[in-house]
């Protein structure tokens, strides 16, 4: 019986492995084999399979019997191919020993370089390279790395010896050390090694090799690697492979060099060869930035042959992998080696261009192109961003409440913002927090900065709706008066410039150059392909005709959430709203509501027109009534005077409405139950508007949504109220529009009794913001105190308000979809929380069989792309 | 083939039905049959089965063919037995037509009395009774009832005629009408009938009968009956039966009468015949209170034969039903009829005595005795109550925050309460709301009344723990200054008397007589039998040794919830707590915690000693830290001065800790994660205490409980922290106590991932208060605004904070028990929310296989009884 194969050779133009053997050879090993087979000049070597790692642990850290011989055979083969031998005093072979699992775990496991150096081979290295300094430096580095990584001698102890030698000589850089210094350091390193390990530094390269192999396999189960796998949910792997590979050196003369290159421009996506290189240097020199690398254009002049060879390899690799590659190369004495190739990182702009170009070039199909762009990257294409080449002075950080960037002069009041904007100035509105009164100023400003409030604060929600940059809850902002503030300890007055980065939450001093978004033809093309592929509909959350139109341009296929309360704040409507709240009885409330009716009707008419032919989901009043009343003593006095009510009475009303936990208070459909006249007015306005625009030829598809349902009877009663009111209006108007009545599912209990709720609901829309709050017991406005620590400590992997918690909240969604559809097979189901525009959450919604997702206008393209990727992934 | 039987006769000493035929004959019909078979003199009649109702609706309101003949045959049989005939001008038979389903639905369906009266039989009635007035009044009543119930003529229209006749004559009472009046009214009624129905009032008694039968069957599906069944979850019934029964009259002379009696005293439980009767009267006269009824003792004198006969029936019925009976009887011309018998309502005291007595008498066994007392009734036996014979002036109502009653002089400060109590006075502490500073005064007072705060406010929670009467959140209390207040608009000063009813929430003016509880020997006996039967353990929620001892006396088998935060408030500990909160860093916090350690240790020692041999579940710190800081400007200034911190800094800290939704904020184990040193100190104190008391021979069984867990990692981290700290302490103390580490399940997400949480939990304890809040999205402190309306409108059947919502919250409990036990088969499971002492919730806990329930000390006996009843019910 033939012995099982544990070791796979690569080199000399062919390899025993290939790219498909990732599970067995790890990503790195499989890739090296693949490149070798392609005829790419890769430094030869061999890979010990992941199976060995598995057996090693299963057998309590013993290798399979056959391994020793197989390693020896492959080493011999390698030595023969290279014409060098490990430890040879004339032509020594140096190898690296590296880990490499099927899934990349960067920096988690061990690596040993320069293996094979010892007291005699260091001389051979000297002879071979003609560079004594290089030889001794390589030896020094090897002892340090071996001692640290393999034997556990503290890294610091080596550094102490190095520093002390430099101090002795009064120098600062390693490169200033002379050969005698290096020899002294090698001697001291060896002493340190012996003190700590109780044995001499091993001179036998075979011993060096096996100890290193042990160390790499051992590092598979070190603490940080285990933790990394846990956090990243990496499961089912056999272990790591070990790659033993010939070392090549780019720093052994002017016929040598090293570099990094991309098969296309990673910044613009242009199909041009792009990269940097350094003559007579090692890879780390490029990274360390001690010398400034030259461009590949220079290489074309300086090493035309090598450039030509590299350029051909570029073609070969890109054609083979059908994606833009990021390659590392080294030239050792005029011989080019490719050390690594991998898919290159790129900007959003480049990602779109490369995907579309490659499709044109016939390299990939539509679906593959769609999969090539990370949906969240699109943010960069839709909002202005700070020029990455600018030096910026970040003076404070807040919540990234609404993405994009904005530059402007500081103003402190909404009035001032409008005033200055009218003069053509660009302004940033800085407030402790914003209120409905500030809407005009917010609209006039380029961006908004608040000292208080969370991701769902007034400023944040309104800014996202407007697609306007906003940094919220920045506690380093202290407003001193109406013309001065301190930000991060720096004093600012009205008219001083600041810049906001709403994508990162940073506040930057002064004026910074912005890059404007350019949704190019490539972008449109990619979105077209995405739309071909996806099954989920994408709607938008929009409260105004302007938002609705904007979202429609970005591809929205309807409104998934139109919040009627924002309409209550506009202009002088708030007066009627307050009159209603302060009314003593139903009659008084109805009188005030009657004034609101035509205004609400007008709102809905505008939105219906903007969404002609598309469904519009309108949520009935949701927030607690106290949100419509002032809370400060001064404001209460002012209001009391303006509406002719005693301050005492108004104060009493404000106090009686105050709540300990407004999130769990008298809001949502609870208002509709206790004050049915409010919902009646809203439904009346919806259907008056629908009948009216229908007469002008607009196609109207209203979907009336009851918020915060938690019991069967709430839904039954309010379904009846809505249906009755709608039918009455349509009868009187002699009109007929198709409509649906449904509910938000945002209370855990509603999810649990979804089968019953579905009896009276034609659609469900998941309000995942509230559902997350209640399922976790987190108030979004308060969780900021502990959430960062929860993320840092790994208690939560992701902020559940940004990325839907599939494990907990997801269960409630899953259960309720099943139960809801059991009652009503064709129940329409969507999501309208903030998660509707987050790619992994969109994928989850797709998987659960929802009909649509709804998100803020500027996330519509992101959701479209994510939905397409979900469909493509599932079909595979 | 014989025709199917639809009609069942009863009368003449035997019946075709019996008590077991409830489904077919309805409760009333089966009972009438049963009594007839027992030889009890019941007015004869027949029952049309519920099957007919079912067929009637299934056949679109058509009766089965055979019915007409069966009714005719039975009517003939009845007429023969009675020697009278329907409509007979000399000896007319009068019958009632009544509904009666298998489950009682009082007042929901239709009834027709005096059927058979018409223009000629009214004369027969006159002849038969020798009472013309009676005859015409019966006729008048019949037309009115038949018109209203059967034909849908508005009740008001009849009343108008009646009133107009009385006005005409200048009289007020119906009894003042003379015979001519009655005849005029009958004439007017007939006119009204014709106007509304378009036909003459039917003179044919058969027609009257069939129309009435139709009406009764029709009322099964009237709106209110459907609603009643919906609300009371009555399902699976065939329909109602219809009972046609001979009318008997107690108002036809001095040889007639009517009465109500109980087989034992329903107030004391004494085995004596108890009741009231009236000579020459109808049943409604007893109820209306126009004449004062006489006692049965009088009947013994006045109608000795009838009394003797009745007394024998009493014996027979009680022996037959083996329970105290509530009987209605009528004597018509010296003939005794029993109209109804049913299980009699009784006071708690009577319930216990009757159950124990009947067991002694050999009528029932232990289990039956246990089933005979409604657990909630025990409240009356454990707390003082207001003497029901007292006239009280209720001046305001608040929340029934802690049961019992209390009388005392008003005081407005805790200090004054202690001062006056020390002088031997009984005082009631009246506060806007209480704070931890008031503990001493609360303890000294007889009862507590607050103007603000809910069922979980400080006053409510502490009072329940103390078993002290409390009315909370009474908005009609306005405190004017430190010696005056207004309650319900009435002015009170210090020293004025008020009385509180903590069971109803009423505030009563002045001094009212209270009845002290007497847990008699019968009570102890019944609890002994309950303990024999139950499987669930009953623990208590107790935070002090005194509470613990008290609960133990009431039968608690351990502590299910010991809240450590209440200890933080005691005495000057709050200073150290505040020092900890204000500390700048961990070191500062540890310093302050170090001061708290010996105090906490002392607390735990006291509780461990009190619970020697029983498990004690200690919950680590739960409330948000701001609860320990003052919130008012004045108090902040005072505290700042006393601890030597600037007011500005303290204000800043207070503000930084303020939360929008504290219920969903930084509390529970979130504190343990961000400030592990707090939990470490608490665990250290627990195990120092455990080791210390163990040395004195006390058996300690601590169970450390992590609150508000929502994720797997919180549990994993805090389990490890607890285990490590506990082991450290025990190692240092050279002690070893068995202990468990577990968690509250009170966040919906925790319930959903219970399988994972169970990996690191040895027990689950359901915090159903918070679980209810989050599952419903109701803040208990705020829901008071809409909950009453929700209950009134039937949106919720019960207040979910009082009675566990099995439909929604219950699902989460069910799911998580299954999942938790899947991971850990012997997972210990209990409940420690307020529901732990509510009978239907206890039954639910039993059914789900929990190990224990835990409730406030004074509810322990209630929980024991409820647990026993659950076990007995399940075993059936």
DSSP labels for B684-749? Answer: HHHHHHHHHHHHTT---EEEEEE-S--SHHHHHHHHHHHHHHHHHHHHHHT-----EEEEEE-SHH
A666–B717 C-beta distance less than 8 A:
no
Residues of B in contact with A661 (CB under 8 A): 661-664, 779, 781-782
CA distance A713 to chain B (A): 5
- Residue A430 and residue B230: Cα distance in Å, rounded? 56
Using alpha carbons, select from A632, A621, A620 the residue that is nearest to residue A581: A621
- Inter-chain CB pairs, A–B, below 8 Å: 166
B670–A793 C-beta distance less than 8 A:
no
- Residue B840 and residue B804: Cα distance in Å, rounded? 8
B673–A782 C-beta distance less than 8 A:
no
Selected for mutation to probe chain A from B718, B755, B777 (highest A CB count within 10 Å) is B777
Dihedral sign for Cα B684, B687, B691, B696, please: positive
Q: Which residue of chain B comes nearest to A813, CA vs CA?
A: B752
The distance in angstroms from the start CA to the end CA of chain B is 39
Whether the per-residue pLDDT at A775 is higher than 70: the answer is: yes
What is the C-alpha radius of gyration for chain B, rounded to an integer number of angstroms?
A: 33
- Residue B876 and residue B184: Cα distance in Å, rounded? 61
- Residue B10 and residue B12: Cα distance in Å, rounded? 7
Whether the per-residue pLDDT at A288 is higher than 70: the answer is: no
pLDDT of B381: 84
pLDDT of B289: 55
- Residue A866 and residue A874: Cα distance in Å, rounded? 12
List the structure tokens of B739: 């202990």
B458 catalytic per annotation: yes
**Residue partners of A304: CB distance under 8 A and separation at least 6:** none
- Residue A18 and residue A658: Cα distance in Å, rounded? 68
What mean pLDDT do residues A611-619 have?
Answer: 97
Using alpha carbons, select from B349, B440, B448 the residue that is nearest to residue B402: B448
Packing angle, helices A50-58 and A205-219, rounded to 10: 80
Cα torsion through B473, B479, B484, B490, rounded to 10:
-60
- Residue A273 DSSP symbol: -
pLDDT digits (tens, 9 = 90+) for A698-718: 999 999 999 999 999 999 999
pLDDT of A714: 97
Nearest to A808 among B753, B781, B807 (CB): B753
- Residue B146 DSSP symbol: I
CA distance B857 to chain A (A): 28
- Are B686 and B597 a contacting pair, CB within 8 Å? no
HSE-CB at B164 with a 13 A cutoff on CA atoms is 10
pLDDT of B285: 66
CA distance B598 to chain A (A): 29
Dihedral sign for Cα B837, B842, B844, B850, please: positive
Q: Which residue of chain A comes nearest to B672, CA vs CA?
A: A786
Nearest to B779 among A660, A714, A805 (CB): A660
Q: Mean pLDDT in runs of 10 for chain B (876 residues)?
A: 87 93 94 95 97 95 95 97 93 94 85 94 90 92 94 92 93 87 96 95 96 95 85 84 95 88 90 91 66 85 95 96 94 93 87 96 97 89 85 91 91 92 92 83 92 78 81 90 92 95 92 80 94 97 91 95 86 86 91 94 96 97 92 86 85 88 95 96 98 97 98 96 97 96 98 97 97 96 88 90 96 98 97 93 97 94 97 93
Phi and psi torsions of B371, nearest 5°: -75, -15
What mean pLDDT do residues A199-226 have?
Answer: 94
**Which one is predicted more confidently, A19 or A285?**
A19
Packing angle, helices B633-643 and B647-657, rounded to 10: 120
Residues of B in contact with A778 (CB under 8 A): 664
Dihedral sign for Cα B13, B19, B25, B29, please: positive
Helix/strand/coil for B184: helix
Residues of B in contact with A786 (CB under 8 A): 666, 670, 673-674
DSSP B440-492: HHHHHSSEEEESS--TTSHHHHHHHHHT-EEEE--TTEEEEETTEEEETTEEE
A796–B748 C-beta distance less than 8 A:
no
Residues of A in contact with B661 (CB under 8 A): 661-664, 779, 781-782
Given the DSSP bridges, would you call strands B92-93 and B95-100 parallel, antiparallel or unpaired? unpaired
pLDDT tier at A286, thresholds 50, 70, 90: low
ipTM for the predicted complex comes to 0.82
Q: Which residue of chain B comes nearest to A815, CA vs CA?
A: B752
- Are B242 and B98 a contacting pair, CB within 8 Å? yes
- Are A639 and A630 a contacting pair, CB within 8 Å? yes
B663–A782 C-beta distance less than 8 A:
no
CA distance B832 to chain A (A): 19
Nearest to B795 among A664, A714, A793 (CB): A714
- Residue B756 DSSP symbol: H
Nearest to A661 among B666, B776, B782 (CB): B782
Nearest to B666 among A774, A775, A782 (CB): A782
Phi and psi torsions of A279, nearest 5°: -80, 145
The distance in angstroms from the start CA to the end CA of chain A is 39
Using alpha carbons, select from B252, B254, B261, B270 the residue that is nearest to residue B312: B261
- Are A73 and A6 a contacting pair, CB within 8 Å? no
Helix/strand/coil for B220: coil
CA distance B716 to chain A (A): 10
Question: What residue spans of A120-178 are helical by DSSP H?
Answer: 121-129, 132-145, 155-169
Selected for mutation to probe chain B from A678, A720, A749, A787 (highest B CB count within 10 Å) is A749
Using alpha carbons, select from B29, B97, B71, B38 the residue that is nearest to residue B247: B97
Angle at A275 between CA A272 and CA A281, to 5 degrees: 155
- Residue B327 and residue B345: Cα distance in Å, rounded? 11
- Are A555 and A531 a contacting pair, CB within 8 Å? yes
B786–A752 C-beta distance less than 8 A:
no
A773–B808 C-beta distance less than 8 A:
no
Q: Cα–Cα distances in Å, from A697 out to A608, A613, A692, B14, B579?
A: 11, 10, 9, 79, 70
pLDDT tier at A642, thresholds 50, 70, 90: confident
pTM score, whole prediction: 0.82
- Are B370 and B353 a contacting pair, CB within 8 Å? no
List the structure tokens of A55: 């057996």
Using alpha carbons, select from B651, B837, B813 the residue that is nearest to residue B746: B813
* Neighbour-count burial for B655-670, b at 16+ CB within 10 Å, e otherwise: eebebbbbbbbbbbbb
Cα torsion through A142, A147, A148, A150, rounded to 10:
100
Q: Which residue of chain A comes nearest to B669, CA vs CA?
A: A786
A790–B664 C-beta distance less than 8 A:
no
Catalytic residue among B366, B383, B458, B719: B458
pLDDT of B788: 86
Which of the residues of A are catalytic? Answer: 458, 832
Burial of residue B561, with CB atoms counted within 10 A of its CB: 0-12 exposed, 13-18 middle, 19 or more buried: buried
Nearest to A663 among B661, B666, B713 (CB): B661
- Residue A365 DSSP symbol: -
pLDDT of B119: 95
B710–A808 C-beta distance less than 8 A:
yes
Whether the per-residue pLDDT at A463 is higher than 90: the answer is: no
pLDDT tier at A2, thresholds 50, 70, 90: low
pLDDT of B266: 87
- Residue A578 and residue A436: Cα distance in Å, rounded? 13
- Are B628 and B577 a contacting pair, CB within 8 Å? yes
Residues of B in contact with A662 (CB under 8 A): 660-661, 782
List the structure tokens of B502: 């903590």
- Are B868 and B534 a contacting pair, CB within 8 Å? yes
- Residue A607 and residue A693: Cα distance in Å, rounded? 10
Q: Cα–Cα distances in Å, from B260 out to A89, A123, B299?
A: 121, 121, 12
B770–A661 C-beta distance less than 8 A:
no
Instruction: Determine which helix (DSSP H) or strand (DSSP E) holds A541, and give its type and residue range.
Output: strand A537-541
Q: Which residue of chain B comes nearest to A716, CA vs CA?
A: B795
**Residue partners of A83: CB distance under 8 A and separation at least 6:** A91
- Are A207 and A87 a contacting pair, CB within 8 Å? no
- Residue A574 and residue A579: Cα distance in Å, rounded? 8
List the structure tokens of B521: 């020997």
Q: How many other CB atoms sit within 10 Å of the CB of residue B389? A: 7
What mean pLDDT do residues A776-785 have?
Answer: 91
A661–B664 C-beta distance less than 8 A:
yes
- Residue A825 and residue A831: Cα distance in Å, rounded? 18
**Which one is predicted more confidently, A330 or A642?**
A330
CA distance B665 to chain A (A): 6
Q: Which residue of chain B comes nearest to A777, CA vs CA?
A: B664
- Are A337 and A245 a contacting pair, CB within 8 Å? no
Q: What percent of chain A has pLDDT over 70?
A: 98
Angle at B792 between CA B460 and CA B381, to 5 degrees: 45
Nearest to A774 among B662, B774, B782 (CB): B774
CA distance A751 to chain B (A): 9
**Which one is predicted more confidently, A257 or B466?**
A257
Residues of B in contact with A717 (CB under 8 A): 793, 795
Nearest to B711 among A665, A711, A795 (CB): A795
- Residue A24 and residue A29: Cα distance in Å, rounded? 9
Helix/strand/coil for B652: helix
Catalytic residue among B261, B485, B691, B832: B832
pLDDT of A437: 75
- Are A468 and A442 a contacting pair, CB within 8 Å? yes
- Residue A97 and residue B275: Cα distance in Å, rounded? 102
Residues of B in contact with A665 (CB under 8 A): 779, 782-783, 785
A781–B660 C-beta distance less than 8 A:
yes
pLDDT of B518: 67
Nearest to A795 among B713, B793, B794 (CB): B713
CA distance B509 to chain A (A): 27
Selected for mutation to probe chain A from B749, B784, B804, B811 (highest A CB count within 10 Å) is B749
């Amino acid at each position: 019986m033939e012995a099982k194969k544990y070791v796979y050779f690569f080199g000399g133009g062919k390899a025993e492995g290939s790219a498909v053997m990732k599970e067995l050879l790890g990503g790195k090993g499989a890739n090296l084999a693949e490149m070798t087979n392609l005829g790419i000049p890769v430094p030869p070597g061999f890979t010990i399979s992941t199976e060995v790692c598995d057996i090693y642990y299963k057998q309590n850290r013993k290798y399979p019997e056959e391994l020793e011989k197989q390693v020896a055979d492959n080493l011999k083969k390698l030595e023969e191919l290279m014409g060098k031998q490990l430890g040879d005093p004339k032509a020594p072979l140096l190898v690296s020993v590296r880990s490499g699992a099927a899934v990349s775990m960067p920096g988690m496991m061990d690596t040993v370089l320069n293996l094979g150096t010892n007291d005699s081979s260091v001389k051979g290295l000297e002879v071979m390279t003609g560079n004594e300094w290089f030889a001794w430096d390589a030896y020094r580095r090897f002892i340090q790395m071996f001692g640290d990584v393999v034997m556990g001698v503290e890294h610091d102890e080596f550094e102490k010896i190095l520093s002390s030698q430099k101090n002795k000589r009064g120098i600062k850089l390693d490169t200033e050390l002379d050969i005698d210094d290096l020899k002294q350091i090698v001697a001291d390193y060896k002493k340190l090694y012996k003190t700590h390990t109780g044995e001499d530094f091993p001179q036998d390269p075979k011993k060096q090799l096996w100890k290193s192999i042990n160390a790499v396999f051992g590092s598979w189960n070190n603490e940080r690697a285990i933790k990394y796998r846990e956090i990243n949910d990496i499961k089912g792997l056999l272990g790591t492979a070990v790659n033993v590979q010939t070392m090549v050196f780019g720093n052994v003369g002017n016929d040598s060099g090293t570099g990094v290159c991309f098969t296309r421009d990673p910044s613009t996506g242009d199909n041009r060869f792009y990269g940097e290189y350094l003559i007579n240097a090692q890879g780390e020199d490029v990274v360390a930035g001690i010398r400034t690398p030259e461009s590949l254009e220079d290489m074309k002049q300086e090493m035309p042959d090598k450039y030509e060879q590299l350029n051909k390899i570029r073609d070969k690799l890109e054609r083979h992998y059908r994606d833009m590659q990021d390659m590392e190369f080294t030239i050792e004495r005029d011989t080019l080696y490719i050390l690594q190739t991998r898919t290159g990182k790129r900007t959003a702009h480049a990602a779109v261009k490369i995907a579309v170009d490659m499709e044109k070039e016939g390299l990939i199909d539509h679906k593959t192109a769609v999969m090539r762009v990370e949906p969240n990257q699109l943010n960069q294409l839709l909002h202005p961003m700070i020029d990455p080449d600018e030096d910026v002075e970040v003076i404070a950080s807040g919540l990234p409440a609404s993405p994009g960037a904005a530059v402007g002069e500081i103003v402190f009041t909404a009035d001032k913002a409008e005033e200055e904007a009218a003069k053509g100035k660009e302004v940033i509105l800085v407030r402790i927090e914003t209120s409905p009164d500030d809407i005009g100023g917010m609209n006039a400003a380029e961006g908004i900065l608040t000292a208080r409030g969370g991701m769902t604060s007034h400023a944040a929600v309104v800014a996202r709706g407007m697609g306007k940059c906003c940094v919220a809850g920045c506690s380093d902002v202290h407003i001193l008066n109406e013309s001065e503030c301190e930000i991060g300890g720096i004093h600012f007055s009205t008219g001083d410039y600041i810049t906001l980065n709403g994508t990162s939450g940073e506040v930057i001093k002064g004026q910074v150059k912005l890059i404007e978004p350019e949704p190019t033809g490539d972008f449109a093309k990619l979105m077209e392909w995405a739309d071909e592929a996806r099954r989920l509909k994408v709607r938008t959350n929009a409260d105004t005709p302007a938002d609705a139109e904007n979202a429609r341009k970005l591809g929205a296929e309807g409104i998934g959430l139109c919040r009627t309360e924002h309409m209550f704040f506009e202009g002088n409507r708030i007066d009627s709203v307050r009159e209603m709240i302060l009314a003593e009885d139903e009659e008084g409330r109805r009188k005030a509501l009657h004034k609101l009716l035509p205004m609400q009707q007008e709102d809905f008419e505008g939105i219906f027109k903007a969404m002609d032919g598309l469904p519009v989901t309108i949520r009935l009043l949701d927030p607690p009534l106290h949100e419509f009343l002032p809370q400060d003593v001064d404001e209460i006095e002012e209001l009391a005077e303006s509406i002719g009510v005693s301050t005492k009475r108004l104060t009493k009303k404000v106090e009686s409405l105050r709540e300990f936990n407004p999130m769990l208070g008298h809001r949502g459909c609870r208002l509709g139950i206790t004050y049915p006249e409010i919902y009646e007015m809203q439904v009346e306005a919806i259907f008056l508007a629908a009948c009216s625009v229908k007469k002008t030829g607009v196609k109207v598809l209203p979907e009336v949504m009851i918020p915060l349902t938690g019991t069967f009877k709430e839904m039954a009663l309010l379904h009846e109220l809505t249906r009755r009111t709608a039918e009455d209006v349509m009868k009187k108007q002699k009109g007929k529009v198709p409509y649906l009545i449904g509910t938000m599912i945002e209370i855990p209990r509603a999810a649990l009794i979804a089968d019953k709720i579905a009896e009276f609901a034609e659609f469900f829309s998941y309000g995942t913001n509230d559902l997350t709050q209640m399922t976790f017991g987190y108030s979004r406005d308060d969780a900021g105190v502990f959430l960062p620590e929860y993320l840092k400590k790994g208690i939560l992997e992701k902020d559940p308000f940004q990325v839907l918690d599939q494990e907990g909240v997801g269960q409630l969604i899953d259960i309720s979809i099943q139960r809801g559809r059991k009652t009503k097979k064709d129940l329409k189901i969507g999501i309208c929380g903030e998660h509707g525009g987050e790619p992994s959450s969109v994928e989850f919604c797709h998987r659960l069989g929802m009909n649509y997702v709804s998100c803020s206008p500027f996330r519509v393209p992101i959701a479209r792309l994510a939905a397409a990727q979900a469909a493509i992934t599932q079909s595979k």
